[in-house]
Structure 1
Amino acid sequence: MARGFKKRQGRYVARLDAVERGLVVGLMEQVRELVQPADAAQGAEGGDEFDRIVAGLGGVGMGVSLAADDQVQLAGGVPAPRDPALDRIFPTANRQDDQVAAEFRQLTEQGLRARKTANLDTAIAALAHLEEQKVSLDQAQAVALVVALTDVRLVLGERLGLKQDDDLELIEEQVSSLEEDDPAVYALAVYDFLTWLQETLAHALLP
């Protein structure tokens, strides 16, 4: 059973079993595919993990790995719209002027992608190769994991349709009448678990 993070002797310690770590690492790897710089994304295969998690929520789930230009090609070579999860992770700099926002994104987004990818790599490495349930992070790893969990929750929240705080209560009401093995119940449980894990680590990081 998972135990949240606490600060002990200058390190940030929690307990996660192999399944829990595998879940967190798998989701971070999927988000890394989404946010990595365009040149690194070329040739990447589409990820299905988010699709499986949100299956049954209504509509068609979207994978989280994209083509190099953040778009996938539809029939006839027509590009699909930009994944809305990217706009959650990289919010527009100017909501009043789309052209200014697009120009700013062109200048800055690749650098932001590189930094987020490096941060996710740090968080993944901190969790991926543990041989025991104890997780022990130094300051840099703890900060990287908090930020990585934010990005994962933003993407999963977009897949779940969470746009504002009230949406979470609405979805919780909707899934309360579903069977326990319904994918929607599992998806919401994953989101709640990530939220709890991030909150315990953020609290431990406070002075």
Structure 2
Amino acid sequence: MALAFKSTLRGYSAYLEKPERQILRSLFSDVLTLLGGVSPADEPLAEDKPKFMDRFRPARDTAHLPQTPTTEDSAETGSPTDAAFWDLVGSLTEDNVQVDLTDPAVQRLLPEARSGEDADAGSAQFRDLAQDNIRQDKIADLQRSYALLQSPSLMLNEREAEAFGRALNQVRLVLSSRLNIEHEEDAERVHKIDSVDQATDVERYMALLYNFVSWLQETLMQALIGDLS
């Protein structure tokens, strides 16, 4: 049972059981592969031990999923775990990577900067100048978020929460591509899959994952926005 993100005095808190963290790690890893990145080395996930107050969260704060078998600046200004994190993943990207820019999911992750008559003329130059930086930023968010899933009780500072939200959005973009979500009626079709019992095939299971990731991201965004109001 996942518990929604909420803003606390210590940071942005959520609770994810081990199967849910395994699923999210797998999704982050899949998107990293699409972008030519590498997942951090796996460490055994901590066992589920809900904190006392988490046991009394209201039902609206919960969700269920089926079980399934520039780094120096960041290290200086982030949380106490940042330095160790960047030591771990700082060298996990390849210099010579092949990203399939014809994959519709990759196109959603790395959209063109131009449209219309100038699109073809500008796209190659844009990729050369900006696309790799965008890709590296997305890889860094995914790697950081992958590492943050070690413990069932997440407590994120603002920078970690923002990176985690961006990583969740990347997963949503890929899943929306695989589910062919193009129009409002497509989204409505996917949103109807809201229980484990409905996940009877691959597409429905992906729909369930999409809805779970969307729910988790929404609760995180609400917590972040709430602190700004």
1:82 paired residue among 87, 92, 102: 102
Letter in 2 for 1:124: Y
Q: Which segments of 5 or more consecutive residues in structure 2 lack a partner in the other structure?
A: 39-95
Q: Which residue of 2 aligns with 1:165?
A: 184
2:143 pairs with one of 98, 121, 124: 121
- Residue of structure 2 equivalent to 1:91: 111
CA contact (8 A) 2:165 2:221 kept: yes
Q: How many residues align?
A: 167
Secondary structure, aligned partner of 1:122 = helix
TM-score by length of 1: 0.72
Distance apart, 1:188 and its partner CA? 0.8
**1: CA distance between counterparts of 2:218 and 2:173?**
15
Q: Does 1:193 align with 2:193?
A: no
Aligned to 1:34: 34
Of 151, 160, 179 in structure 2, the residue corresponding to residue 141 of structure 1 is 160
Q: Deviations over 1:91-123 (max 9, x none)?
A: 111111212122212221111111111111111
* Alignment partners' CA distance in 1, 2:180 and 2:146: 26
**TM-score calculated relative to the size of structure 2:** 0.66
Cα distance, 1:165 vs structure 2:
2.8
- Sequence identity, in percent? 34
- Matched to 2:186, the amino acid is D
* Partner in structure 2 of residue 105 of structure 1: 127
Separation (CA, whole Å) in 2 of partners of 1:69 and 1:22: 27
One-letter amino acid matched to 2:123: A
SS at the partner of 1:135? strand
Give, in whole Å, the separation in 2 of the partners of 1:9 and 1:175: 32
Counterpart code for 2:7: K
Aligned to 2:171: 152
Runs (4+) off by over 6 Å: 173-176
Q: Structure 1: where are the runs of 5+ without partners?
A: 41-66, 72-80
The 3-state SS of whatever aligns with 1:106 is helix
Q: 1:204 to 1:175 in 2, by over 3 A?
A: closer
Once residues 182 and 9 of structure 2 are traced to their aligned partners in structure 1, the CA distance between those partners, rounded to angstroms, is: 39
